[in-house]
Structure 1
Amino acid sequence: MPYETTLLIQLAVGLLVTGALAGVLAGLLGVGGGIVIVPVLFLLFDFLQVPQEVAMHLAVGTSLCTIIPTSISSARSHYRRGAIDVSLLKRWAPLIFVGALVGGLLSKVLNAEVLTLIFGFVALAVAINMAIPKTLVVSESLPSGVVGAGAVPVGIGGFSALMGIGGGTLSVPVLSAFSFPVHRAVATASAFGLVIAVPAVCGFIWSGLNVDGRPPYSFGYVSVPAAVLIFSVSVLTAPLGSKLAHSLNPARLKLAFALFLFLTALRMLWSVFGMG
């Protein structure tokens, strides 16, 4: 078998495995799988010699694209179990949508290192907060003021879009800080993932149009072949993650969430400072 064919098969298998793991994490942690997909795609595009100034944007945009079907699958599973807080979803969804759209459009003016640093530092801070024995509690209830109630979901949408992740990475610890039950936060975050991904993908597609150095079959900053291979599997494994989420106790769920965030954050920060 020619080397090029063997290489393509290995890459395809790697993306399928990534999709399977991303789906499980989407259901388990409400993260939309991006916490795994972004660094894997970043390494893949680097291996394929995609220019560094394009690779991170492409990884984020492609990850956001895969989050759309994965979040639908995960959210449906949580909804059938009655775990999604519909009232919170209705209040926060429009604001998260606006934040995600702004984040997607900002990708046109932010360079790759800035995106990577945002991903690394925000994820590291969240991981530390989730891993400490007593999670930071800001209030016994969600913010009710006009500024607080608006700034929190807008910020979640904006930063999630720039990081290429679903709603869970930020919304789960934020909701936990406001004394929101973690299982309900994870379930509702799975729906936030869809609200984030759709406008953010549109922004990354627009930002990446006519940019040089993108691999074949890219639509803006979205690699269509990579996205298809990943979400073709992730939509099948997301319900498994949802089932696991309801069988674990909150402490273990938080610890699992923190571990994945911590390892991913270190890897992404290393990719920036290591290049220096």
Structure 2
Amino acid sequence: MTPDLLSFETLGLVLALMAAGGIAGLLAGLFGIGGGAVLVPVLYQFLVLLGVDESVRMHVSVATSLGIIVPTSLRSYLSHRARGAVDEALLKSWLIPLPLGVALAAIVAAHVSGDGLKGIFAVIALLVGLRMLFNRASWRLGDDIPGFPIRPLCGALIGFLSTLMGIGGGVMNNTFMTLYGRPIHQAVATSAGVGVLISVPGVIGMIWAGWGAEHLPPFSLGYVSLPGIALIIPVSTLAAPIGVRMAHAWPKRRLELGFGIFLLIVAARFALSLFE
């Protein structure tokens, strides 16, 4: 049953959505990520309250998160680019591989169940959370980013996994770049651009994947919820430049620990829900 839209519980989740948007914007600027790891679980709970069918809840959460990431990542990218911190050469080399990975993920999303998407999110969130907790600056795979075929393959993989999670790919790109000797500030700045390359085709793909699907909430474009985007985008876009300033002024280790713990909690919650 759909709850009273004026209930205190609904109002609380609307405020939670807006708060998540603010956190997503800060994370976009701070880590070069779109904040989808925060947005997806909050959006999911919002859809539970609204009585949206379980078969599409996770799809709508992931797709709407990608839609929110578009302006957040773009604002973050332009702010970092103005500081001259972005590796434009890497972004240009990923203009084809990243969208290819995104397109493949959209095809998978069109056929995978809601529980399947939950499982994918939980596994990747677990791995990323562990990486955030145990990351060491001394870990290296090489002194510079490799060329063909490793670079395009990694770009396609980042696009694929990020789209299925509804995230901007920043954490994965940060890991990739720092493992190959790039400074963290350059990795963060470049990850904002990666978020743009993932989220724009990702939204298009999720609209296609959900076109004509049953049980979608009102005012959806494919799997993308337009009301969810309208609630969160203004807050997240305003918060992104604040995160950029923090990224260039603060040490990140304590924030990485907090974000890593959050991801482990989300992963555990989604994993447990699969057995309910």
Question: How many angstroms apart in 1 are the aligned matches of 2:168 and 2:25?
Answer: 12
Question: How many angstroms apart in 2 are the aligned matches of 1:251 and 1:5?
Answer: 41
CA shift, 1:147, in A, is: 2.2
In structure 2, the partner of 1:5 is 6
CA shift, 1:86, in A, is: 1.2
Alpha-carbon RMSD: 1.9
Alpha-carbon displacement from aligned partner over 1:197-249 (angstroms, at most 9, x marks no partner)? 11111111111112111111111101100111111110000111111111122
2:93–2:152 contact (8 Å) kept in structure 1? no
In structure 1, the partner of 2:30 is 28
Q: 1:23 to 1:250 in 2, by over 3 A?
A: closer
In structure 1, the partner of 2:245 is 243
Alpha-carbon displacement from aligned partner over 1:124-169 (angstroms, at most 9, x marks no partner)? 112212322535432222122x221221000000110111001212
Letter in 2 for 1:104: A
Question: How many angstroms apart in 2 are the aligned matches of 1:264 and 1:141?
Answer: 33
Equivalent residues in 2 for 1:87-106 (5 A)?
Answer: 87-106=89-108
Which residue of 16, 19, 25 corresponds with 1:17?
19
Question: How many angstroms apart in 1 are the aligned matches of 2:188 and 2:29?
Answer: 8
Question: How many angstroms apart in 1 are the aligned matches of 2:253 and 2:95?
Answer: 27
SS, match of residue 20 in structure 1: helix
Letter in 1 for 2:177: L
| TM norm structure 2 | 0.92
In structure 1, the partner of 2:151 is 149
CA shift, 1:51, in A, is: 1.5
Q: 1:234 to 1:96 in 2, by over 3 A?
A: same
SS, match of residue 166 in structure 1: coil
Identity of aligned residues (%): 39
Equivalent residues in 2 for 1:150-189 (5 A)?
Answer: 150-189=152-191
In structure 2, the partner of 1:64 is 66
CA shift, 1:88, in A, is: 1.3
CA shift, 1:268, in A, is: 2.5
Letter in 1 for 2:30: L
Q: How many residues align?
A: 272
Alpha-carbon displacement from aligned partner over 1:43-99 (angstroms, at most 9, x marks no partner)? 111122211110000000000000001111111111112211111111123211211
In structure 2, the partner of 1:197 is 199
Which structure 1 residue ranges, 5 or more long, are not aligned? none
1:168–1:193 contact (8 Å) kept in structure 2? yes
Question: How many angstroms apart in 2 are the aligned matches of 1:44 and 1:209?
Answer: 21
Question: How many angstroms apart in 2 are the aligned matches of 1:94 and 1:195?
Answer: 9
2:208–2:222 contact (8 Å) kept in structure 1? yes
Question: How many angstroms apart in 2 are the aligned matches of 1:180 and 1:219?
Answer: 39
2:16–2:42 contact (8 Å) kept in structure 1? no
Letter in 1 for 2:179: A
SS, match of residue 146 in structure 2: coil
1:167–1:189 contact (8 Å) kept in structure 2? yes
Question: How many angstroms apart in 1 are the aligned matches of 2:80 and 2:136?
Answer: 26
Q: Does 2:46 align with 1:38?
A: no
Greater mean alpha carbon deviation, residues 132-141 or residues 191-200? 132-141
Question: How many angstroms apart in 2 are the aligned matches of 1:3 and 1:187?
Answer: 43
Q: 1:64 to 1:240 in 2, by over 3 A?
A: same
Question: How many angstroms apart in 2 are the aligned matches of 1:13 and 1:252?
Answer: 26
Q: 1:133 to 1:22 in 2, by over 3 A?
A: closer
SS, match of residue 5 in structure 1: coil
Question: How many angstroms apart in 1 are the aligned matches of 2:88 and 2:259?
Answer: 23
Q: Does 2:139 align with 1:139?
A: no
Which structure 2 residue ranges, 5 or more long, are not aligned? none
Q: 1:200 to 1:4 in 2, by over 3 A?
A: closer
SS, match of residue 6 in structure 2: helix
